[in-house]
Amino acid sequence: MAAVLLALLAAREAAAKSFYLPAADVHVTVEPDGTLAIEERITFFFDGSFTGAYRDIPLREGERISDVSVSEGASRSSPGASAELGSSGAPNTYG
């Protein structure tokens, strides 16, 4: 009986996590050469245990992204983590 109770409590805790985006701000500048300089600030609110977030940026043929940075407050992350959905990397890294 105790094992069943523990399993139910663990399932409840696993289900008791959520997140939402209370704020998103995007600033786009068209540079003289036609490229776009985009700064995106997204505020995440996490409730429960999370190890990170995933942000997909779809590209059309001929498009590319360069000079990417990721930060949280004054803490800047480093590239090097996998960008595959469901993967994880070292703390303070992004892919």
Give domain limits for the chain: 17-94
Report pLDDT for 11: 56
What are the CA-CA distances from residue 8 to residues 1, 3, 16, 45 (Å)? Answer: 11, 9, 12, 26
| 2 confidence band (pLDDT: 50, 70, 90) | low
Q: Give the global pTM.
A: 0.63
Q: Give the separation between CA 7 and CA 72, rounded to whole angstroms.
A: 35
